Amino acid sequence: MRETEESATGLRPTSTEEDLQPEATLFARWRHSRLWRASSIVLAVVAIGLSSYYVAIKLVSSLRQIEEAHIRVRPWPVILSFAITLACVLLGGVVWHLVLRGVGVRLGLRACVQSHLLSIPGAYLPGYGWRYAGKAYLTQRLGIPLGLASCAVLVELAESEMARGVLALTTVQRTFLDSFLKGALEPYIWALRLLGWGALLALPLALEKGVTWAKRRGRRPWSDMNVNKRDLWLALLMMCFTFVLYGAGFSVLLGTATALTLDGLAAAVFSTSSSLAVSLMMFFVPAGLSVRESVLIYTLEGVFPEAGVTVSALVSRGVLVAAEVVGALVGSWLALGGRRRSSPKG
């Protein structure tokens, strides 16, 4: 099995700490310490408690509106939203493939999709940050040095967070700007958008410069990279497309409570991009539980009826969980198929 993996990737796996800098090893030890675990649990409980309280208040205040507006969750919009969300989950494997190619790692598309999908359960226990750590570990199991896989994960994380932020800036609603900081950002919104897109497109260039510096200084594992800017730009394009699809999936649910327009679709993209970005920053909260829902409700306040937004946000959690469960099952099926092909025939 190991020989098969090595021949498929052209790289030999290394030990866990072989290609890591001393500070990375120190961070790994601290991450496994009791203080880290205790603080993560406390922060997760506080974040979940506060956001759940906010969602509960909105739900209680919306109950009468839900009854008066005869809002019902119909099956077909939920099924369509699930299909769109599942497509987004699967496209994450394509993004991971492009990111790996962008840092000079040649790994088959099937293997990339497999490691991406199998990392999904890590987001639920203990939290989003561990999903990315799990992705690096699973990629290392396929024959990629752990240090290089970890650097690729950091590149993907930086690109995805910036892409979400730029999409949120691009689609932000005037209603939200008027309420947030009392409209202080509104005069500068176009300048911020241009600055955001410029910074996003400059990320591969900045990484190339950083890797060149690392090679001169012998700073492994960054010096092991061979940056391919074209693939990194393609990864950014695929990320933006995927995040717009997430918004489209959520807008399908919103359409059950209100008529949806292009402005409404833009608002849904802004809301989902913001909620995913905040959920990832709350990496200690399992799957962004209740954090994502509270951001969805807060960012759409005044844009859509509160009752419809609250119901759609709660239903979208069920849709996301179902799509990610199916995604993890697909990843398991791909891994099982790979083992069967690599096992000797007897």
* Residue-range domain boundaries for the chain: 2-342
pLDDT at 2: 40
The pLDDT confidence band at residue 68, using thresholds 50, 70 and 90, is low
CB 227 within 8 A of CB 257: no
pLDDT at 335: 87
pLDDT at 55 over 80: no
Q: How far apart are CA 66 and CA 154, in angstroms?
A: 43
pLDDT at 67 over 50: yes
CB 274 within 8 A of CB 168: yes
Total number of residues shown for the chain: 346
Q: Does residue 192 or residue 68 have the better pLDDT?
A: 192
- Name the range with the highest mean pLDDT among 82-91, 113-122, 306-315: 82-91
Q: How far apart are CA 343 and CA 335, in angstroms?
A: 12
Give the type of residue at 112: C
pLDDT at 76 over 90: no
The residue behind tokens 């000079």 is: 104
Q: Nearest CA to 266 among 308, 304, 234?
A: 304
pLDDT at 198: 97
Mean pLDDT along residues 112-128: 86
pLDDT at 23 over 60: no
Least confident of 40-44, 161-165, 243-247, 339-343: 339-343
pLDDT at 21 over 80: no
Q: Does residue 13 or residue 323 have the better pLDDT?
A: 323
Mean pLDDT along residues 3-13: 40
Least confident of 66-80, 270-284, 332-346: 332-346
pLDDT at 207 over 90: yes
Q: Does residue 200 or residue 13 have the better pLDDT?
A: 200
* Phi and psi at residue 159, to the nearest 5°: -65, -45
Share of the chain above pLDDT 70, in %: 79
Q: How much is the mean pLDDT over the chain?
A: 82
Mapping DSSP to helix (H, G, I), strand (E, B) and coil, where does residue 301 land?
strand
Mean pLDDT along residues 205-219: 91
Over the stretch 141-181, which tens digit does the pLDDT of each residue have? 988 998 899 999 999 999 999 999 999 999 998 888 887 76
The residue behind tokens 């993996």 is: 5
**pTM for the full predicted model:** 0.83
Q: How far apart are CA 196 and CA 75, in angstroms?
A: 38
The pLDDT confidence band at residue 49, using thresholds 50, 70 and 90, is confident
Mean pLDDT along residues 228-255: 95
pLDDT at 275: 93
Mean pLDDT along residues 323-338: 90
pLDDT at 70: 59
Mean pLDDT along residues 239-259: 89
Taking the alpha carbons at both ends of the chain, their separation in whole angstroms is: 15
